[in-house]
Each structure stands twice: as C-alpha cells, then as structure tokens.
Amino acid sequence: MDISELFWTASFEDLKCGYVQEKDHYVCLLCGEKIEQGIVYPEDGVLYEASRYMRLHIEKVHLSVFDYLAQLDKKVTGLTEHQTSLIRLFYQGKTDKEVQKAMDIGSPSTIRNHRFALKERERQSKVYLVMMELLKDKNKHEPILLVPPETAKMVDDRYKITQQVSDKLIKTLFPEGPEGPLKTFSIKEKNKLVVLQEIVKRFQNGRIYTEKEISQILKTIYHDFATLRRYLIEYGFLDRTPDGSQYWLRNGSQNKEETTMDRKQELKQQYKETKIEAGVYQIKNTINDKIFIESTPNLKTINGKRFTLDMGTYQNKLLQNEWTEFGSEAFVFEVLEILEIPEEGYFDTKDALKKLKAQWLNELQPYGERGYNNPYPAK
C-alpha cells in the first residue's frame, strides 16, 4: 500500500493522533480527509468543533490509528503477520493466557517471551531512529543541487542532483526536446523530481486552471496524466481547492491568492449552508461497469475518498488497483439513496445506514466480476 508524503513527514506525535493541522484545515494522515477549522459540525444530534470532529472521523472510518497501522503491509510496518497478530491482542488488553488461547501457540510463558522480544525490538528502533536523526543533522549542511519548491514537504537526498546529471536526464526522457512528450515516468524517485520540475514550467504563475485544463496539458506530455497530476500535487508543485475544481502553481504570485479568495469564501459559505445528509453511494468504473458500494453519515465527505484513491491509500485493494490502472477519469461517484431521518424522536442513524447499504448490496450484487465489494466482509 502506498502512503502519502504527508504521512511520512508527520511528527511522531501527529502520527499518534492520526491528523495534522495545515493552515485552516485539519488533515487526516490516514486518508487525506480535510476538516475546515472554524466550523461546527453536527453528528447524531451533537455539535463538534473541528479537531474533535476529526477525531470522530478517525473513529468512524478507521476505528483507530492503531487499527489503521496494524492493517498496513509488512513492508511498511516491518512486522510479520504473527507479530502483528500478537500486538493486536496485546492492544486489546488480553492476558498472556488469553493470547495463548487465541493464537493456539505454546504456553503463557511463550507469550511472555514474545512480549519481551517486542520490547527489545522497540529499544532497537529507538536507537535506529536516533542514529538516523544524527545522520540527517550531519548531512543537512551539504549543498542541495536540485532546487526544491518552496512548499516541498521533504527535502532529502532526492534533491542532490547536479545540473549536468539533470540536463542528461531531460535529454534522455524528453527525446523530442523539453517541450515534447515524456518517454517514461517509470524511473527512480529522484529522477521523477527532475521531470516534475521540467513539466511545471508549462504552467503559468498566477493562473487558475480547471481540472480539465490541467489534464489536457498533462495528456500532451504523458499518457498516464493522472499520475503526473498526483505527483505534482504531492511534491508541492501544484495546489488545488478541496473540491478539485481549481488548480494553481504553489509558488504562484500574490495575485493568484487574491483570485482564489472569493472562491474559497464561496466554498466555505456553501459548506456551512449545505445540509449534512447520510446515504449510500457507488463508485463506478465506466470502462468495465464494475461498482463499489459504500455508505457514509456525511455525503459531503465523498471527495475525501477521491483524494485517498488518488494518493493510492484506499483500503479496498481491488478498487485501488483498478483506479491506479485506469486513472481517476474512468470513475464516477453517484449517490444511490439519501437516508431519510425523522425530525422528531430517537433514530439510530448508524443502524439505519447499515441496513440501507445492505439493501443496495443485495440489489446490485457488486461482487466478483460485477464489482469491488467483498462478499464476506470481516465482522
């Protein structure tokens, strides 16, 4: 599973919380969902300020930061499936005897040995982290030869490329010249930065682009324009509005900020005035007609799912793989039904939403060749 750059550059404390504060938003490090500060969010009859609502989002969507991290690939966590299972049970507060029974291994003393081994690994990790921090401190004064954008989230060895090497890469990867098409983007990460810095020259400072305009420009450069767009945003070359309707150079002029101010105010007011509705929606692949059905207590958060898919971190691997393969333009989001909530009396929104989703799953059967849903979800 790919994880966004924002996740990797977050502090240890921010990772434990699961979100980070950026300008006037709180951003979920696990899926990219953004919650605007200064707005009160209603949920099940209770009003939440932005940071508390972000914590509620993590609970509802990811269960907890621990649960999200525990389901990551072992290449990311460095843990075997056996170790992950043990940590899950320890996190649940199970005793050694309960863990031994649940995993059907050894004896309680065996589990105690596993606890000791994990603590030993924790100590080793601390030493390793300190060594890497000291290494960074030693190297931070070395010259950076490839100039990163002012908004780059991480400045490391990827930027240490001489002008001579950069010129050679451009000549190789743009055989028809810098204004021509890109030969391939399946290259090393630091080489991608050289390519991105060359591509960004084709955009104008201070100009606001629509998503269609961005795509049209990138299509002339490379067939997988969605990947180029994602990298330009992730590495801080481009920025966009939360709804993806406007794009601009992150290092653009002050006029750009003034131009987008009215649009941001408009979006903010629209967000406040729009009624929060729960419902069931589908993500449809228009090429092969496969669908994914999901429910949400707030249909306004659907754009957050698009962001997660663009970042390559969506939990449904079947959908994520085809999103990456076909590109975001191949998919459409459609609301299937809005949950009707009575104005008076007690109403269990969560239970009603679960039943509504089950009805649509039963009707459309989005399994196997017909869709991306799991017919046997974990209980």
DSSP string, 311-332: HT--S-HHHHHHHHHH-GGGEE
Exposure of 218 by Cβ count < 10 A (0-12 exposed, 13-18 middle, 19+ buried)?
Answer: buried
In this prediction, residue 268 carries a pLDDT of 54
CB 296 within 8 A of CB 302: yes
Mean model confidence pLDDT for the chain: 82
- Give the span between the Cα atoms of 169 and 191, in whole angstroms: 7
**129-138, 182-191, 231-240, 322-331 — most confident range:** 322-331
User: pLDDT value at position 298?
Assistant: 86
Domain boundaries, the chain: 5-136, 157-264, 275-370
Confidence label for 65 from pLDDT (cuts 50, 70 and 90): very high
pLDDT of residue 64: 92
Could you tell me if 290 and 370 are in contact, meaning their C-beta atoms sit under 8 angstroms apart?
yes
First to last CA, the chain: 23
What topology does CATH give the domain 157-264?
Arc Repressor Mutant, subunit A (1.10.10)
Strand ranges in 215-330 using DSSP code E only, listed in sequence order: 238-240, 247-249, 279-285, 291-296
The C-alpha angle 161, 154, 201, rounded to 5 degrees, equals: 60
Measured over the CA atoms of residue 168, residue 170, residue 174 and residue 177, the dihedral's sign is negative
Angle formed by the axes of helices 225-234 and 302-311, to 10°?
100
pLDDT tens-place string over residues 345-373: 788 888 999 999 999 999 999 999 999 99
More confident residue, 154 or 44: 44
Residue 286's CB is within 10 A of a number of other CB atoms, namely: 11
pLDDT tens-digit series, residues 213-226: 999 999 999 999 99
Residue 241: the pLDDT is: 86
Maximum CA extent, the chain = 72
Residue 23 has pLDDT above 80, yes or no: no
Report helix, strand or coil for 8: helix
Tell me which of 377 and 329 has the higher pLDDT: 329
Q: What is the pLDDT of residue 143?
A: 46
Q: How many Å apart are CA 49 and CA 205, to the nearest integer? A: 36
The neighbouring-strand residues paired with 311 are none
Residue 283's pLDDT is: 95
Tell me, what's the pLDDT at 364?
94
pTM for this structure? 0.41
Mean pLDDT of 136-151: 54
Question: CA triplet 251, 145, 185: central angle to 5 degrees?
Answer: 70
The fraction of the chain above a pLDDT of 90, given in percent, is: 31
pLDDT at 187: 85
Residue 5: its pLDDT value, please?
Answer: 67
Domain 275-370 is classified in which CATH homologous superfamily? GIY-YIG endonuclease (3.40.1440.10)
CB atoms near residue 228 (< 10 Å): 24
pLDDT-based confidence at 108, cuts 50/70/90?
confident
Please give the C-alpha separations between residue 272 and each of 150, 262, 298, in angstroms, as whole numbers: 32, 15, 13
Instruction: Give me the phi and psi of 356, to 5 degrees please.
Output: -65, -40
